[in-house]
Structure 1
Amino acid sequence: MTNSSTTKQNIVSICLWLLIWQAVAMIINEEILFVSPLSVLFKFPELIKSFIFWQSISFSILRILAGFFISTILSSIFAYIAYKSAAIEAFFRPIITVIKSTPVASFIILALIFIGKDIVPMFICMLMVTPIVYSNVLNGLKNVDKDLKEMSKLYDTKQIKHLYFPSLLPYITAAIDSGLGLCWKAGIAAEVICRTIPSIGNQIWETKFYIETTEMFAYTTVVILLSVLFDFLIKKATRAVLKKYNVEVVK
């Protein structure tokens, strides 16, 4: 299936779901309970004139992306250390399992006790992405071609640049595909629970408190659009690097 046909199908699907949303809203006919997409759309001109709207978006983007990229770097380093030592890998295994299994809300509340509420969303993003990147990078390292490793030693090439980096790229890309969306969900949830100011999460909390359902839907739509946008941009960048090294993404 070509990219153009896939794009067309996605657009048609989105339009159909918007029509379903509009139809359900018209049937319920209670804006305070379930707003229509048209109401959300008409809310945006009001929001974009507000300073707090842009301030909240900017700070949320900063926290979430900072948590994501810091976690990606640290998790890759930990994975490399674990790859070099079976004992270290065994040491990390229980904590990775705990992070995977524990509900996000539990981590948010625990983090709120020990660290400031302004730091919690970034910390939660780091925590949620860690198992994904760690596992993918570790698997990538374990699947590096042994013959290539021997050749790199024989010809004295820089292993990280010429061997490990190209081999790990598809695994890192797969981790980014899985982790970025999770980062947005976990990060915004942390902002809502912690009432981090300024943030999209705090704005969502305030709309719930003042029963501003239309505004809540509008901010939720912003989160979805930001998640899709940054996912698209990072995928474009990573796929450009993949193309440079002539490697494929691990599904």
Structure 2
Amino acid sequence: MKSKSFITKMLVPVAAWLVIWQLVAMAVHNHVLLAGPIDTLNALVRLSKEQEFWSSVAGTTLNILLGFLIGTVLGCGLAMLGYFKEIVGDFLKPLVLAMKSVPVASFVILLLIWFGNRNIAVVICALVVFPVLYLNTYEGLCGTDVKMLEMAQIYRIPAFSKIRYIFLPQLHPFLRGALKLAIGMAFKSGIAAEVIGQPLHTIGNGLYQAKIFLETGELFAWTIVVVIISFICEKILMAAVDCIRR
């Protein structure tokens, strides 16, 4: 039943969209304007034979995941601090709202002026992920059942047990949704930062090179690689979050 459901919900729609993509590409009949899935697959195979392709994929993925980790730790940690210390929460509120609203391009340009393009994806991902995790964690903590906390205080339940049995179940849906959103935003913002900053041996640089040489097939190939990596990371992350809850 599960395999049947997977085929119906995933494989059939994907195959349908591939067919539509190929038909549109054939109708356009211009590889520069729109490369079809076959051209994209050929470009992906060609790229995969180059050592620089794999180093770019590995380098970008590690930088984005590092930025994601930093943003997650800071977001969750400062949200907890802001929840337990109201003055800290009031102090951080304007900063979080500003980080949530400022365009990624503005951060990228400022970082290029201040520090150059080195590790730009790490910093940008951390800046993008931080407000998402902060706001969701803070909201989850604020929704914790007050009566449960009072009971824990009356019976002098240890801090670890309070976290395990009161706070974590309350935070789980908030964190799950936030992490699922944040990992996708991390890849989007990280790749965008690389395209603007142009650090060598990165996916962003590969996308830019494909644009310069009008290699639309390679452009789609790089994009598909990003989608696949993001999808895999998201599934691993969701499995880890669900495992912690148990």
Both structures adopt the same fold (TM-score exceeding 0.5): yes
Q: Which moved more, 1:76-85 or 1:129-138?
A: 76-85
Deviation, structure 1 residue 196 = 1.3
Instruction: Answer whether contact 1:44 1:218 (CA < 8 A) is retained.
Output: yes
Give the aligned residue type for 1:218.
A
AA partner of residue 126 (structure 1):
A
Equivalent residue number for residue 175 of structure 1: 178
Q: Report the CA distance shift for 1:3/1:171 in structure 2 as closer, same or farther (over 3 A).
A: farther
Stretch of structure 1 that moved more, 56-65 or 110-119: 110-119
- What is the CA distance between 1:111 and its match in structure 2? 1.4
Deviations along 1:141-176, whole A, 9 cap, x unmatched? Answer: 111111221222233322334432343232211110
Q: Does 1:186 align with 2:180?
A: no
Distance in 1, matches of 2:129 and 2:144, equals 23
Total equivalences in the alignment: 242
Name 2:198's counterpart in structure 1. 195
Equivalent residue number for residue 147 of structure 1: 147
Q: What's the C-alpha RMSD, in Å, of the aligned pairs?
A: 1.7
Q: Which residue of 2 aligns with 1:59?
A: 59
- Give the whole-Å Cα distance in 1 for the aligned partners of 2:231 and 2:27: 29
Q: Which residue of 2 aligns with 1:84?
A: 84
Alpha-carbon distance between aligned partners in 2 of 1:194 and 1:89, rounded to the nearest angstrom:
33
The one-letter amino acid of 1:105's match is A
Shift of 1:3: 9.0
User: Residue 223 of structure 2 aligns with which residue?
Assistant: 220
1:211 Cα deviation after fit:
1.8
The 8 Å contact of residues 108 and 124 in structure 1, kept in 2 or not, is answered as: yes
Which residue identity does 1:106 align to in structure 2? Answer: S
What runs of 5+ residues in structure 1 fail to find an aligned partner? Answer: 245-251
Single out whichever of 38-47 and 84-93 deviates more from structure 2.
84-93
TM-score (norm 1): 0.90
- Counterpart of 2:122 in structure 1 is 122
Superimposed CA distance per residue, residues 77-112 of structure 1 (whole angstroms, 9 cap, x where no aligned partner): 110111123222222111211112111111111111
CA apart distance, 1:131: 1.1
Amino acid at match of 1:187: G
Residues 95-144 of structure 1 show CA distances to partners (whole Å, capped at 9, x for unaligned) of: 21111211111111111111231221111101111111001110111111
Q: State the Cα distance separating 1:215 from its structure 2 match.
A: 1.0
2:137 is matched with which residue?
137
Normalising by structure 2, we get a TM-score of: 0.92
Q: Which piece of structure 1 moves more, 26-35 or 6-15?
A: 6-15
Query: 5+ residue gaps in structure 2?
Result: none
Structure 2 CA distance, aligned partners of 1:169 and 1:189? 30
Please give the alpha-carbon distance, in whole angstroms, between the structure 1 residues aligned to 2:132 and 2:149. Answer: 25
AA matched with 1:85: K
**Secondary structure in 2 matching 1:117:** coil
Instruction: Quote the Cα distance in structure 2 between the aligned partners of 1:114 and 1:240.
Output: 41
Contact 2:44/2:222, CA 8 A, preserved across alignment: no
Query: C-alpha deviations, 1:53-93, integer Å up to 9, x for none?
Result: 10000001100000101111111111011112322222211
The 5 Å alignment of 1:154-165 reads: 154-156=154-156, 157-158=158-159, 159-165=162-168
**Residues in 2 aligned to 1:7 and 1:175: alpha-carbon distance in whole angstroms:** 28
2:21 paired residue number: 21
